[in-house]
Amino acid sequence: MAKANEFVKEIADIHGDFPQWYTDVVLKTQLVDYGPVKGTMVMRPYGYALWENIQRELDGRFKATGHRNAYFPMLIPYSFLMKEAEHVEGFAPEVALVTHIGDNELPEKLVVRPTSETIIGHMYSKWIQSYRDLPLLINQWANVVRWEKTTRPFLRTSEFLWQEGHTVHATREEAEEETLRMLGVYEEFSRNVLAIPMFTGRKSEKEKFAGADATYSIEAMMLDGKSLQSGTSHYLGDNFAKAFDIRFLDKDGSHKYPYQSSWGVSTRLIGAVIMAHGDERGLKLPPYVAPVQAVIIPIAMHKAGVIEKAEEIAATLAKAGIRVELDKSDNSPGWKFNEYEMKGVPLRIEIGPRDIENGVATVSRRDKAGEKFTLPLNDLVSGIQNLLREVHESMYAAALAFRDSHVKTVKNMKELGDAVNDNCFALSMWCGDRGCEDKIKEEFQATSRNMPFDQSPVGDKCVCCGKKAKYKIYWGKAY
Amino acid sequence: MAKANEFVKEIADIHGDFPQWYTDVVLKTQLVDYGPVKGTMVMRPYGYALWENIQRELDGRFKATGHRNAYFPMLIPYSFLMKEAEHVEGFAPEVALVTHIGDNELPEKLVVRPTSETIIGHMYSKWIQSYRDLPLLINQWANVVRWEKTTRPFLRTSEFLWQEGHTVHATREEAEEETLRMLGVYEEFSRNVLAIPMFTGRKSEKEKFAGADATYSIEAMMLDGKSLQSGTSHYLGDNFAKAFDIRFLDKDGSHKYPYQSSWGVSTRLIGAVIMAHGDERGLKLPPYVAPVQAVIIPIAMHKAGVIEKAEEIAATLAKAGIRVELDKSDNSPGWKFNEYEMKGVPLRIEIGPRDIENGVATVSRRDKAGEKFTLPLNDLVSGIQNLLREVHESMYAAALAFRDSHVKTVKNMKELGDAVNDNCFALSMWCGDRGCEDKIKEEFQATSRNMPFDQSPVGDKCVCCGKKAKYKIYWGKAY
Model confidence pLDDT, tens digit, residues B390-405: 999 999 999 999 999 9
Alpha-carbon torsion, ordered B229, B17, B366, A67, to 10 deg: 70
ipTM, 2 dp: 0.96
Kindly state whether residues B309 and B420 are assigned to the same domain: no
Contact A270, A47 (CB under 8 A): yes
Kindly state whether residues B189 and B310 are assigned to the same domain: no
CA distance A110 to chain B (A): 9
| CA atoms lying within 13 Å on the CB side of residue B33 | 19
Cα-based distances in Å from B98 to A23, B119, B267: 29, 16, 24
pLDDT at A8 (0 to 100): 53
pLDDT tens digits, B136-156 = 999 999 999 999 999 999 999
pLDDT at B90 (0 to 100): 85
Is A3 a residue whose pLDDT tops 50?
A: no
| Inside any domain, residue A283 | no
| CA–CA separation, B242 and A244 (whole Å) | 50
Cβ–Cβ contact B52 with A under 8 A: yes
Best residue of B33, B37, B148 to probe chain A, by most A CBs closer than 10 Å: B37
The answer to whether the Cβ–Cβ distance between B70 and A93 falls below 8 Å is no
| CA–CA separation, B49 and B33 (whole Å) | 15
Which of the 8 DSSP states describes residue A157? Answer: -
Kindly state whether residues A190 and A233 are assigned to the same domain: yes
Chain B nearest-CA residue for A330 = B132
The answer to whether the Cβ–Cβ distance between A75 and B100 falls below 8 Å is no
pLDDT at B88 (0 to 100): 84
**Stretch A160-175: mean pLDDT, rounded?**
98
Kindly state whether residues A198 and A51 are assigned to the same domain: yes
| CA–CA separation, A28 and B79 (whole Å) | 29
Least CB–CB distance from A37: residue in B73, B92, B138:
B73
Is A6 a residue whose pLDDT tops 80?
A: no
Kindly state whether residues B469 and B349 are assigned to the same domain: no
Interface of B with A in 279-298 (CB under 8 A): none
Alpha-carbon torsion, ordered B392, B398, B401, B406, to 10 deg: -120
| Inside any domain, residue A11 | no
User: Measured between beta carbons, which residues in chain A are less than 8 angstroms from residue B80?
Assistant: 36
- With H, G, I as helix, E, B as strand and everything else as coil, classify residue B221: strand
- Which phi and psi (to 5°) does residue A407 adopt? -125, 130
Domain extent, residue A419, equals: 407-476
Kindly state whether residues A46 and A127 are assigned to the same domain: yes
| Inside any domain, residue A138 | yes
User: Measured between beta carbons, which residues in chain B are less than 8 angstroms from residue A147?
Assistant: 101-102
Is B3 a residue whose pLDDT tops 60?
A: no
CA distance B101 to chain A (A): 5
In this prediction the pTM is: 0.96
Band of pLDDT at residue A286, cut at 50, 70 and 90: very high
Please name the residue ranges forming H helices in B235-304.
239-243, 268-277
Least CB–CB distance from B42: residue in A33, A73, A98:
A73
The answer to whether the Cβ–Cβ distance between B41 and A73 falls below 8 Å is yes
pLDDT at A84 (0 to 100): 82
Chain A nearest-CA residue for B67 = A45
Is A1 a residue whose pLDDT tops 50?
A: no
| CA–CA separation, A43 and A56 (whole Å) | 17
Neighbours of A89 (CB within 10 A): 11
Chain A nearest-CA residue for B100 = A97
Cα-based distances in Å from B344 to A95, B24, B199, B226, B367: 41, 14, 25, 22, 9
| Inside any domain, residue A6 | no
User: Measured between beta carbons, which residues in chain A are less than 8 angstroms from residue B129?
Assistant: none
Chain B nearest-CA residue for A104 = B93
pLDDT tens digits, A302-346 = 999 999 999 999 999 999 999 999 999 999 999 999 999 999 999
Is the omega angle on the peptide bond into residue B135 within 30 degrees of 0, that is, cis?
Answer: yes
- With H, G, I as helix, E, B as strand and everything else as coil, classify residue B316: helix
Chain A nearest-CA residue for B118 = A36
CA distance A273 to chain B (A): 19
The answer to whether the Cβ–Cβ distance between A98 and B95 falls below 8 Å is no
Question: Please, is A238 exposed, middle or buried when counting C-beta atoms within 10 Å of its C-beta (0-12, 13-18, 19+)?
Answer: middle
pLDDT tens digits, B297-319 = 999 999 999 999 999 999 999 99
Q: Which residues contact B331 (CB under 8 A, 6 or more apart)?
A: B339
**Stretch A468-478: mean pLDDT, rounded?**
98
- Which phi and psi (to 5°) does residue A446 adopt? -110, 145
Least CB–CB distance from B102: residue in A94, A98, A99:
A94
pLDDT tens digits, B237-251 = 999 999 999 999 999
Chain A nearest-CA residue for B91 = A102
Is B2 a residue whose pLDDT tops 60?
A: no
Please name the residue ranges forming H helices in A29-84.
45-64, 78-81
The answer to whether the Cβ–Cβ distance between B48 and A40 falls below 8 Å is no
Cα-based distances in Å from B51 to B184, B193, B325: 20, 12, 18
CA distance A41 to chain B (A): 6
pLDDT at A9 (0 to 100): 67
The answer to whether the Cβ–Cβ distance between A52 and B69 falls below 8 Å is yes
Kindly state whether residues A76 and A153 are assigned to the same domain: yes
The answer to whether the Cβ–Cβ distance between B95 and A72 falls below 8 Å is no
Best residue of A30, A38, A71 to probe chain B, by most B CBs closer than 10 Å: A71
Alpha-carbon torsion, ordered B139, B144, B146, B148, to 10 deg: 110
- Amino acid identity, residue B264? G
Percentages (nearest 5) of helix, strand, coil residues in chain A? 35, 30, 35
Kindly state whether residues B345 and B215 are assigned to the same domain: no
Each residue of B144-153: b (16+ CB within 10 Å) or e? bbbbbeeebb
Cα-based distances in Å from B355 to A171, A453, B311, B373: 41, 52, 14, 11
Is B18 a residue whose pLDDT tops 50?
A: yes
| Inside any domain, residue B225 | yes
pLDDT tens digits, B187-245 = 999 999 999 999 999 999 999 999 999 999 999 999 999 999 999 999 999 999 999 99
pLDDT, chain B, mean:
96
Is A370 a residue whose pLDDT tops 90?
A: no
Among candidate residues B378, B342, B377, B343, the one with its CA nearest the CA of residue B363: B377
Give the CATH number of the domain where residue B352 resides.
3.40.50.800
User: Measured between beta carbons, which residues in chain A are less than 8 angstroms from residue B56?
Assistant: none
Cα-based distances in Å from B88 to B79, B80, B94, B206: 10, 9, 10, 16
| Inside any domain, residue A379 | yes
Kindly state whether residues A91 and A214 are assigned to the same domain: yes
Among candidate residues A417, A420, A433, A416, the one with its CA nearest the CA of residue A468: A433
CA distance B323 to chain A (A): 13
Least CB–CB distance from A33: residue in B51, B68, B123:
B123
**Stretch B263-278: mean pLDDT, rounded?**
98
The answer to whether the Cβ–Cβ distance between B102 and A147 falls below 8 Å is yes
CA distance B272 to chain A (A): 19
User: Measured between beta carbons, which residues in chain A are less than 8 angstroms from residue B143?
Assistant: 74, 142-143
User: Measured between beta carbons, which residues in chain B are less than 8 angstroms from residue A128?
Assistant: none
Neighbours of A100 (CB within 10 A): 17
- Which of A225, A251, A277 is at the close of a domain? A277
Tell me the angle at which helices B268-277 and B18-28 cross, rounded to the nearest 10 degrees.
Answer: 120
| Inside any domain, residue A95 | yes
pLDDT at B9 (0 to 100): 67
Count up the domains in chain B and report the number: 3
Contact B222, B230 (CB under 8 A): no
**Stretch A186-191: mean pLDDT, rounded?**
98
- Which of A245, A277, A309 is at the close of a domain? A277
Is A66 a residue whose pLDDT tops 70?
A: yes
Give the CATH number of the domain where residue B416 resides.
3.30.110.30
The answer to whether the Cβ–Cβ distance between A100 and B96 falls below 8 Å is yes
Band of pLDDT at residue A5, cut at 50, 70 and 90: very low
Kindly state whether residues B164 and B218 are assigned to the same domain: yes
Band of pLDDT at residue B86, cut at 50, 70 and 90: confident
Kindly state whether residues A383 and A411 are assigned to the same domain: no
| Inside any domain, residue A385 | yes
- Which of B277, B302, B326 is at the close of a domain? B277
Sheet containing strand B259-266, strands side by side: B68-69, B136-145, B159-169, B259-266, B227-237, B214-221, B199-202, B451-452
Question: Please, is A434 exposed, middle or buried when counting C-beta atoms within 10 Å of its C-beta (0-12, 13-18, 19+)?
Answer: exposed
Is B7 a residue whose pLDDT tops 80?
A: no
Contact B72, B120 (CB under 8 A): yes
pLDDT at B8 (0 to 100): 53
Kindly state whether residues B340 and B420 are assigned to the same domain: no
Interface of B with A in 91-130 (CB under 8 A): 92-103, 109-110, 112, 119, 122-123, 126-127
| CA–CA separation, B186 and A355 (whole Å) | 44
Is A14 a residue whose pLDDT tops 50?
A: yes
